[in-house]
Chain A
Amino acid sequence: MDLSHYKKAWKNQPDENNKISQNEIYKMTQSKSTSIVKWIFIIGILEFVVMNSFYFLFDDTSQKEMMETYGMTNVLLVSQIIAYIILFYFLIMFYKNYREISVIENTKSLMTKILKTRKTVRNYVIFNLTYLVFISIMISVGSLRTEYAHFSTKESAMFLVFMVILTGIMVLVFWLFYQLLYGILLRKLNKNYKSLSDLEMK
């Protein structure tokens, strides 16, 4: 059967029988929104808070003393300043992305922007993981040079392998967590975006 018959049926379909009153619509508009972008923004902020609270959870003074004995206070300080500058840059980007996204744009640019937000979040996570690896390298090198200086080559090698595995596990856990979180949120959008871009490629 031709689609035009169905089109006719579509046009003749009765109006929704339970029309929502203006008052009800107004009440609806005052409630909280659940859009995907909002979730990305909220999760991004949460990640920022959680990841940073890790730094505070570890006893700061012992860390400082540790770095002093390693002779790395300056390196740590500089790296922390740089890290915070970068973190604030990400926070500003999160907010900017969030503000820029609007459903009144065309569908494709809407999705481009949502996926751009995701990219920002991904870069943010990559940065965090890199910093984690950096700190872990500093601790390994520092402790080998000072308190474990008496280690034989074999012992040093074992210590390094242990540190690599430990860091690897931490990175993996964070990475999986990230994949799960945003993978679920963005699977549908990714598909839609691909479906819209497919044609331009050809």
Chain B
Amino acid sequence: MDDFSNNQNIVHKVCRIYTTNQDQHNDLFQEIAIQLWKNYAKFRGEAKFSTWMYRVALNTAISLYRKSTRTVKTQDFSDVSFKIASNDYDDTQDQQLTALYNAIRNLNDIDKALIFLYLEDKPYKEIAIALGISEVNARVKMNRAKDKLKKILNP
């Protein structure tokens, strides 16, 4: 569980793109924690722990049955949560980040996963393995997802 504790930022990022409020965020975080805990015995160290964690976190987010708490969008937490910035963190980037999160939330579940893995600099080979599609297909799908994202960001 040490590894998880150190890498929990990955899970928080996944939660942020797949949920729209703090309650859902906490629910998903908890579910991912449970899945990581339950499956840790099957983690044989053939990949880096963080890589394995990406997969479990995304799969859980994609396959989780969301409780029907469709809360009103005005309760979104995204707009304020990135204001706590470090010294070298400028305002433009802050705005970009907020815009980015809002745009990603408009994508479908699979595109969310693709874009997330792209932003995390995962190579196509790993993305293909994680999603269970071929590398060529991963590239095609990624390009489409990026196009969709760009359209949302610059309408």
A199 contacts B137, C-beta separation under 8 Å: yes
Bound-state Cα–Cα, A143 to B152, Å: 67
B39 contacts A103, C-beta separation under 8 Å: yes
Q: How many A-B residue pairs have CB under 8 A?
A: 155
Which listed residue (B39, B43, B58, B133) contacts A200, Cβ 8 A?
B133
Please give the distance in Å from B34's CB to the nearest CB on chain A.
Answer: 5
Please give the distance in Å from A120's CB to the nearest CB on chain B.
Answer: 17
Please give the distance in Å from A68's CB to the nearest CB on chain B.
Answer: 48
- Assess whether B72 is interfacial by the CB under 8 Å rule: no
Q: Which residue of A lies closest to B116 (CB)?
A: A10
Kindly list 17 other residue pairs between chains A and B, CB separation below 8 angstroms, not including A3-B146, A15-B9.
Answer: A1-B154, A25-B1, A25-B8, A25-B33, A26-B1, A28-B30, A29-B33, A33-B34, A33-B35, A33-B38, A39-B65, A104-B39, A104-B42, A107-B110, A107-B113, A195-B110, A196-B131
With contact pairs A25-B8, A102-B42, A103-B39 given, residues A34 and B55 touching in the complex (Cβ less than 8 Å): no
Bound-state Cα–Cα, A123 to B119, Å: 42
Interface size on B, residues (CB 8 A): 64
- Assess whether A67 is interfacial by the CB under 8 Å rule: no
Most chain B Cβ neighbours within 10 Å, of A6, A192, A200 = A6
For A5, the chain B residues whose CB sits under 8 A away are: 96
- Assess whether A141 is interfacial by the CB under 8 Å rule: no
B140 contacts A199, C-beta separation under 8 Å: yes
For A108, the chain B residues whose CB sits under 8 A away are: 131-133
